[in-house]
Amino acid sequence: MKKVSVKCPKCGANLEVEAAEVNVVMPVHCVPTSIAVEIPVPANKLNEAEAKIEALRNAGVNVANLFSIRGTDGSYEVGRLTDGQFAVVPDDDPIFAAIRASKTIPDRRLFRRWVMAQVFHMMTETDYKTGQPIGFTAALRRKGYKYQWEMVVEELRVQARLNVTDPENFAERNRWFNRGVVVQMATDYIKLVRNIVTKLRIRSCKGVPYVRLDGTNIFIKDLPTKVYEPLEKLLRSIRNTRQPAALYRATTNFYKAVKETCLFFDMEQSRAFKDAYKGAGAFFTLKNLILFHDCGFPKMSQKMSREYLYELASQKDLEGYKLFGILKDFLVVNGINIEAMRAEWRK
């Protein structure tokens, strides 16, 4: 029998009665003038079309133009509003077919199409004066030294979160940007600072020599204690991290010290960073092209191409620049001419 919860408006006592009962015995002091009866209302059950839309929404697909509509036979369908025209979305629509075929959902956040877009734009970046392509490495250098730290700090922040929520995605990203890369970047930075200091003009204050490092005056005898040792200590803290969240915090601290010590636009970016950047860029671009742009490695199906890509990435000795070379070759094999496509887009 269904139970009904009854609440006394005076004393607040909760009584549970069966729905069929009509007589409720109440204390005399609270003879009801009105009784609040709480009957649990069942949540609206989603029809089939609404359930499909809800599933797509949860997957991050834009469902702004999708609606649930009811046909004359009483069945529910998913409808789409395009340019003022309303049409039923068939079951073999690309939005569903892609999910079924690859067992994946084309979620732009998950598949990092920004990375692919950035790779394409950087590959075709041109020189300001001559208008000739400068290449990916030069385009990366053009972003400046600060970019490498900002990018890595943000990447590690996301990784720290993914480590908890999405281990699979974390593993893909951590393959390229990891503790080893950050340690190398920090080591390179300390070397850079030492080089910069040796080239600075030695000034003198009451006979005591000092240098001006990025606007800060430091006595030469204080350089080890005020510049190098704090950086070395922070480097050790990065090296000792075991968890992604700890690595993120340690890297943030090191970057803070970088900003306080010296940070110039034209400082040489770390080789480890450039390599990881190319590797991650190439990997996610290849993955996107294979999954959503009907591209593949020669004589391989989509599934085989994807497996081959994962196999390549699993090789520990495969450096990022090599995978980038594979990407360039992949674009040629699949007939993707970025400049031609861009000219086509502008029409």
Partner 1 sequence: MENIYNECVNKVKCGSKFHIDFQKRTLKIDGKYVIKQGEYEGELGLPVFDDPLTIITQLFIRYQHSLPSERSDHKRKKYFNALSEHQLSDEDMLYGEPREVAQIKLELHILIMIFNGSLKWYEFAKDKWFWQSPTVKELIILKEWIEPKSENK
Q: Which residues are CB-contacts of 265 (< 8 A; sequence separation ≥ 6)?
A: 144, 145, 146
Q: Which residues are CB-contacts of 14 (< 8 A; sequence separation ≥ 6)?
A: 5, 6, 7, 8
Q: Strands of 14-18's sheet, edge to edge?
A: 14-18, 3-7, 36-38
Among 3, 21, 36, 62, binds partner 1 (CB under 8 A): 62
Q: How far is the CB of 288 from partner 1 (least distance, A)?
A: 8
Between CA 297 and CA 290 the distance in angstroms is 9
Smallest CA-to-CA distance from 172 within 269, 257, 284, 271 is with 284
Between 67 and 120, whose beta carbon lies closer to partner 1? 120
Between CA 104 and CA 81 the distance in angstroms is 25
Instruction: Tell whether residue 83 is a contact of partner 1 (CB under 8 A).
Output: no
Q: How far is the CB of 161 from partner 1 (least distance, A)?
A: 20
Site for partner 1 in 322-341 (CB under 8 A): 338, 341
Between 40 and 84, whose beta carbon lies closer to partner 1? 84
Between 150 and 260, whose beta carbon lies closer to partner 1? 150
Among 19, 39, 114, 154, binds partner 1 (CB under 8 A): 114
Between 35 and 341, whose beta carbon lies closer to partner 1? 341
Helices (H), 85-178: 94-102, 113-123, 136-142, 145-165, 167-174
Q: Identify whether the C-beta of residue 281 lies closer than 8 Å to the C-beta of residue 118.
A: yes
Among 67, 120, 147, 228, binds partner 1 (CB under 8 A): 120
What is the pattern of x (binds partner 1, CB under 8 A) and - over residues 179-218?
A: ----------------------------------------
Q: Which residues are CB-contacts of 183 (< 8 A; sequence separation ≥ 6)?
A: 235, 238, 239
Between CA 157 and CA 251 the distance in angstroms is 10
Q: Which range binds partner 1 by CB under 8 A, 2-10, 108-116, 211-219, 294-302?
A: 108-116
Q: How far is the CB of 116 from partner 1 (least distance, A)?
A: 7
Site for partner 1 in 287-306 (CB under 8 A): 292-293
Among 121, 221, 233, 328, binds partner 1 (CB under 8 A): 121
Q: How far is the CB of 298 from partner 1 (least distance, A)?
A: 22
Q: Which range binds partner 1 by CB under 8 A, 23-31, 93-101, 120-128, 210-218?
A: 120-128
The angle that helices 145-165 and 179-199 make with each other, rounded to 10 degrees, is 160
**Site of interaction with partner 1 (CB under 8 A):** 62, 108, 113-114, 116-117, 120-121, 128, 292-293, 338, 341-342, 344-346
